[in-house]
Amino acid sequence: MVAFCSVENLRQYLNTVDLGELLVGLSTSLEETFKRWEEFQLIPRVASHSTYGVIELMPTQDNQRYAFKYVNGHPINTKVGRQTVVAFGVIADVETGYPIFMSEMTVLTALRTAATAALATKWLSKPQHLDRPLALIGAGAQAEFQAIAHKALFGITDFRVHDTDPDAVKKLQRNLSALGLNVSGLDSSAEAVRDAGVITTCTADKRNAVVLHDDDLVASHHINALGGDCPGKTELDAALVNRSDVYVEFEAQTRIEGEIQQLPTDSDVTELWRVISGEMQSPSGSEITLFDSVGFAIEDFVVLNFMYERLAQTSFVSDIDLLAEPADPKDLFGFVYGSSGGARG
């Protein structure tokens, strides 16, 4: 049997725990895993494109566990009241090949994206960035999780938000004020980032947009750029990317999907795991550090295993009958039809 965590079960579980503590734990688990990055099989996601959108499979494995995520991207879905992105994922045991855990991953992807960005902030920002408000460019589905992760890891409580949709800003203010966080809505990105240290850009549904201009930034910042995540979809001014110290998850994938698709293919970038593992030093002198994040399979691997460790053997998972196990592997027919031969041929 495979342990299954449904959407409703995940909601119920998350309402029993402290989200900030959970994101700290997840960030720590990501950090430990990034240190052993070289143990993983690195496979660029397998994308099936259509005129409507894209469906992707994102597999990876280390020596013990295999994981994959199914995720789509269909911006036109919002016109018919459906989600742009839905996702689910599976962990399997590498030694047997048997799936052991299946979960919804729309919510889990939001959690791992926030925990990954906070981890990048930990390793790439300067101390003075963390004493200032955090700027959020984009008040969509990811915004609350970004704020709560940075509150939990760094104690940031002031957030300066810009979004072209005033209702999204109101939603974010409503959700975060209930947690005692301060959210100011600003009319432009330039105003939102002016007094900020860390900046998170997380907008969606835009094609080669510029939600942050180079001359919006006049001081030192760390930027987590999350919304540029597929070919032809970027968020930042190329000049800003060009003058930043750029960090990525997996260079081969980010060249195709990230902000750096605007730069020459030999531009300098550093994979984040190299900093976390100690192979490379943290940046020191640069004005702007940029984590050009597109989301990678190892992050999904981590959040699936993190949740499995917490949910296995609890009432938040149920068994699903997904795997046929005939008593005699050579008698699949007898398994289906019974040893008395119930089939009619």
Q: Which of 24, 25, 28, 70 binds its own copies (CB under 8 A)?
A: 70
Task: Tell me the closest approach of the beta carbon of residue 196 to its own copies, in angstroms.
Answer: 19
* Residue 322 within binding range of its own copies, rule CB under 8 A: yes
E strands, 123-263, are 134-137, 158-162, 182-185, 198-201, 221-225, 245-248
* Region 120-159 residues binding its own copies, contact defined as CB under 8 A: 139-142, 144-145, 147-148, 151-152
Cβ neighbours for 133, distance < 8 A, ≥ 6 positions apart: 156, 158, 159, 160, 184, 195, 196, 197
* Residue 41 within binding range of its own copies, rule CB under 8 A: yes
Neighbours of 238 (CB within 10 A): 16
| Structure-block tokens of residue 299 | 């992050």
Q: Which of 25, 28, 100, 107 binds its own copies (CB under 8 A)?
A: 107
Side-chain-side CA neighbours of 294 within 13 Å: the count stands at 29
Q: DSSP state, 64?
A: S
Q: Which of 46, 239, 252, 312 binds its own copies (CB under 8 A)?
A: 46
CA 342 to each of CA 11, 323, 326, 330: distance values in angstroms, whole numbers, following the listed order: 43, 21, 16, 17
* Region 274-303 residues binding its own copies, contact defined as CB under 8 A: none
* Residue 106 within binding range of its own copies, rule CB under 8 A: yes
Q: Closest CB to its own copies among 19 and 246?
A: 19
Q: In what order do the strands lie in the sheet with 134-137?
A: 182-185, 158-162, 134-137, 198-201, 221-225, 288-292, 245-248, 270-271
* Residue 331 within binding range of its own copies, rule CB under 8 A: yes
Task: Tell me the closest approach of the beta carbon of residue 131 to its own copies, in angstroms.
Answer: 19
Neighbours of 15 (CB within 10 A): 8
Task: Tell me the closest approach of the beta carbon of residue 265 to its own copies, in angstroms.
Answer: 24
Q: With CB under 8 A, what is the number of residues at the site for its own copies?
A: 97
* Residue 254 within binding range of its own copies, rule CB under 8 A: no
CA 116 to each of CA 21, 33, 170, 296, 345: distance values in angstroms, whole numbers, following the listed order: 14, 11, 26, 10, 56
- Considering only 45-53, 128-136, 238-246, 267-275, which stretch makes contact with its own copies by CB under 8 A? 45-53
* Region 184-213 residues binding its own copies, contact defined as CB under 8 A: none
Tell me the C-alpha distance between 153 and 155, whole Å.
6
Could you confirm whether 229 is annotated as catalytic?
yes
What is the contact mask toward its own copies in residues 157 to 176, using x (rule: CB under 8 A)? --------x--x--x--xxx
CA 153 to each of CA 97, 123, 150, 274, 294: distance values in angstroms, whole numbers, following the listed order: 36, 12, 5, 21, 22
Kindly name the residue from 229, 237, 245, 292 that is annotated as catalytic: 229
Q: Which of 26, 27, 59, 233 binds its own copies (CB under 8 A)?
A: 59
What is the contact mask toward its own copies in residues 75 to 104, using x (rule: CB under 8 A)? --xx-x-xxx-x-x-x-x-xxxxxx--x-x
Q: Closest CB to its own copies among 23 and 246?
A: 23
Strands 182-185 and 198-201: unpaired
Q: Closest CB to its own copies among 94 and 210?
A: 94
* Region 18-37 residues binding its own copies, contact defined as CB under 8 A: 18-20
Q: Which residues are catalytic?
A: 229
